[in-house]
Structure 1
Amino acid sequence: MLNLITDVPGVLVGQADDPARATGVTVVLFEAPAAASVAIQGGGPGTRDTALLDPEMTVEKIDAVVLSGGSAFGLDAAGGVQAVLAERGRGFRIRDLTVPIVPQAILFDLANGGDKAWGRKPPYFDLGMAACEAASDRFALGTAGAGYGAATANMKGGLGSASAVTPSGFIVGAVVAVNAVGSVMIGDGPHFWAAPYERGGEFGGLGQPMRVPPEALEPRLKGGPGENTTIALVACDADLTKAQCKRVAVAAHDGLARAIRPAHTPLDGDLVFAAATGRRPLADPVYGLNEIAVAAADCLARAVARAVFEAVALPFPGARPAWRDRFGRIMVTP
């Protein structure tokens, strides 16, 4: 187990980023088509091909999910992924044609100091292609991929991931790009709101503070409408329907609420995809699904904290500090 979403059999992740432009793309590639759905709880999402994930829609399975920076410009990334997958013969068959199914969500990172003067051709189609071609079972966290240019209210954001095994043996994982309107830390830090869910010192091992002072509960916010989003995917190796994936996506939003204060506001586009690779049958459609949903929420909370814990600051004036720059000296060794 790598403590990454790629611990889920059948899931690979590829990333590409552009340091000069301070943006990037993360692609979750399924080795075989996967059942999937999505739950959108933020007030300002940016998406591509998410309507087809509703349980009543025709297409049953997808080939990949894209998380990207770039705001609406970043929606080009899914086209790059489709181009690569079409070359490989992946996709939904219509007569003698194949159309790769690649839903996507984007976050706003246009005002982070990077060079966004790309003229008529934003870089995201090419970044999507590169990320898809780089897919493997290992990938970087923190300032990487879709989290490269991300920020929170008071710290550098980033790309995080975590995994777990349920009591019945299902493998569950999460990957998230944290560009939150709020904060993942209690007050000014160093403790994370997600501290109760930490495993093995994965984000510093500091645990919880002795008490949470009242001022720590005051909301810390950044930016305005459209400038913030936390986008994520949770996955498992169970054989689930689209409707069951929808229920997992809804439950996984609890992980965002546990790790970010505040979450799900009119100022963000908080969104969670859920996918199932179908490697193991679900013996009990109620209690088994509940195990997976609980684990997905916990993994997502952990992944959010890991995104900020692993990030490094951008080299631009006014960039938000990284957690490690401020608090790295007090980490607890497992």
Structure 2
Amino acid sequence: MRAGRRNSITDIKGLTVGNAADDALKSGVTALICETPSVAAVQVLGGAPGTRETDLLEPHNLVEAVDGLVLSGGSAFGLDAASGVQAYLREQGRGFEVAGQRVPIVPGAILFDLANGGNKEWGRYAPYRELGFEAAGSASAEFAIGTAGAGKGATTAGLKGGLGTASTRLESGFTLGALVAVNALGSATIGSSRHFWAAPFELNEEFGGYGQPSPYPEDAQRPLTKFTMQGTAPEPGANTTIAVIATDAALTKAEAKRLAIAAHDGFARALWPAHTPLDGDLVFSLATGSATQKPDLAEVIELYAAAGATMTRAIARGVFEAQHEKGDIMPSWHQRHGA
């Protein structure tokens, strides 16, 4: 396995990503746009999800493909972001044709960043619809990670979270890419150390190249959460890591569902704890089919294994690339560890 040229989900031909954010709000939106409709599925394993149009992604339901996906801050208010992306795509003539009309299919998911120090006094209507439109309009092969888009105001246990991406080129010729907004209840680092749980999967020192600690810190076996770090009581719906795993392989909707399930392994490898009742952990999957061939059984096993590894790396990159900004309630990885 090796990273793709950009080490990004946009190493998958036909996918672009755009970000939009508000500095005062400390929140934002990330839009993934499919050049042509792509087979999609979803798997939700967190206990507090916030979603739009995820039921239609189940294998037994009618619509096979989507025009885009949205990751947004803003808790339930952020669900408006998908309307902005949908409006942008409709202006481009995109969408599922029904009764002579075009309906862009844009599922979305949100994370909770309302208590991150930003100004959420936005008046009657939240700004996420407009941020979604802006994010879709800026979509390209190159985009910012860290404190950007849906990762703008993200946090983890004791550190800022952020937007991460990674890609993997397999020996079979297929490519995988991950995109993730890391806003976890748990920690991406091993105890109080600077080392990432994701270290065994790192490629090309993409999150510092620090490897695993030796010896492990005394607190490595203690699950660190936002609440244990802050000494506060747990609050429902105050977290969530939301992500996309994509491939250029030709997959059925059911096979794409299995890809989303496999990618959740990356959450468990990069974050501890993960999939708690207070997280809304979710993975969308996309199969663009741009490789024009289906994987055989051996190749599909490799594909699913790499999905977890690629997601693991993307999560660590999201935390590693976070930048300090005025008014932050948590330090960035670089602030805390001075590297």
Q: What TM-score bracket applies, with the shorter chain setting the length? A: over 0.9
Q: Which residue of 1 aligns with 2:230?
A: none
- State the alpha-carbon separation in 2 of the partners of residues 109 and 143 from structure 1: 13
Q: Which residue of 2 aligns with 1:332?
A: none
Q: Which residue of 2 aligns with 1:157?
A: 161
1:132 to 2:136 alignment = yes
- What is the identity, as a one-letter code, of the residue corresponding to 1:225? P
- What is the identity, as a one-letter code, of the residue corresponding to 2:171? P
> 1:314 Cα deviation (Å)?
3.4
For the 8 Å contact 1:71–1:107, the answer to whether it is kept is yes
1:181 to 2:196 alignment = no
1:23 to 2:31 alignment = no
When structure 1 is superposed on structure 2, of 124-133 and 206-215 the one drifting more is: 206-215
1:170 to 2:174 alignment = yes
For residues 216-266 of structure 1, what are the alpha-carbon distances to aligned partners after superposition, in whole Å with 9 as ceiling and x for unaligned?
111111252100000000101011111010000000000010000000010
For residues 79-126 of structure 1, what are the alpha-carbon distances to aligned partners after superposition, in whole Å with 9 as ceiling and x for unaligned?
000001001111110021010000000000000110101111101000
Residue from 185, 197, 204 that aligns with 1:200: 204
Note the residue ranges of structure 2 that are not aligned, 5 or more in a row.
227-233
1:227 to 2:238 alignment = yes
- Aligned residues: CA RMSD: 1.1
Residue pairs, 1:238-249, within 5 angstroms: 238-249=249-260
For the 8 Å contact 1:26–1:66, the answer to whether it is kept is yes
For the 8 Å contact 2:250–2:294, the answer to whether it is kept is no
Residue pairs, 1:100-111, within 5 angstroms: 100-111=104-115
> 1:147 Cα deviation (Å)?
0.3
- State the alpha-carbon separation in 2 of the partners of residues 178 and 255 from structure 1: 12
Q: Which residue of 2 aligns with 1:148?
A: 152
For the 8 Å contact 1:248–1:293, the answer to whether it is kept is yes
Residue from 59, 66, 70 that aligns with 1:66: 70
SS at match of 1:15: strand
For the 8 Å contact 2:250–2:295, the answer to whether it is kept is no
Q: Which residue of 2 aligns with 1:7?
A: 11
TM-score, normalised by the number of residues in structure 2: 0.95
For the 8 Å contact 1:25–1:77, the answer to whether it is kept is yes
- CA spacing shift, 1:299–1:328, aligned 2, 3 Å: farther
1:324 to 2:334 alignment = yes
For residues 112-149 of structure 1, what are the alpha-carbon distances to aligned partners after superposition, in whole Å with 9 as ceiling and x for unaligned?
11010111110100000000000000010100000000
- State the alpha-carbon separation in 1 of the partners of residues 133 and 170 from structure 2: 34
- State the alpha-carbon separation in 1 of the partners of residues 272 and 165 from structure 2: 19
Note the residue ranges of structure 1 that are not aligned, 5 or more in a row.
330-334
Runs of 4+ in 1 over 4 A off after TM superposition: none
SS at match of 2:288: strand
- State the alpha-carbon separation in 2 of the partners of residues 324 and 244 from structure 1: 39
Residue from 204, 211, 214 that aligns with 1:210: 214
SS at match of 1:266: coil
Q: Which residue of 2 aligns with 1:255?
A: 266
Q: Which residue of 2 aligns with 1:38?
A: 42
Aligned length: 328
When structure 1 is superposed on structure 2, of 56-65 and 290-299 the one drifting more is: 290-299
For the 8 Å contact 2:192–2:217, the answer to whether it is kept is no
Identity %: 56
Residue pairs, 1:293-308, within 5 angstroms: 293-308=304-319
For the 8 Å contact 2:251–2:294, the answer to whether it is kept is no
Q: Which residue of 1 aligns with 2:101?
A: 97
For the 8 Å contact 1:282–1:288, the answer to whether it is kept is no
- State the alpha-carbon separation in 2 of the partners of residues 76 and 264 from structure 1: 25
Residue from 237, 241, 265 that aligns with 2:276: 265
Q: Which residue of 1 aligns with 2:229?
A: none
For residues 164-212 of structure 1, what are the alpha-carbon distances to aligned partners after superposition, in whole Å with 9 as ceiling and x for unaligned?
1112010110000000000000011200000000111100011111132
- What is the identity, as a one-letter code, of the residue corresponding to 1:183? S
Q: Which residue of 2 aligns with 1:82?
A: 86
Q: Which residue of 1 aligns with 2:195?
A: 191
For the 8 Å contact 2:29–2:73, the answer to whether it is kept is yes
SS at match of 1:216: coil
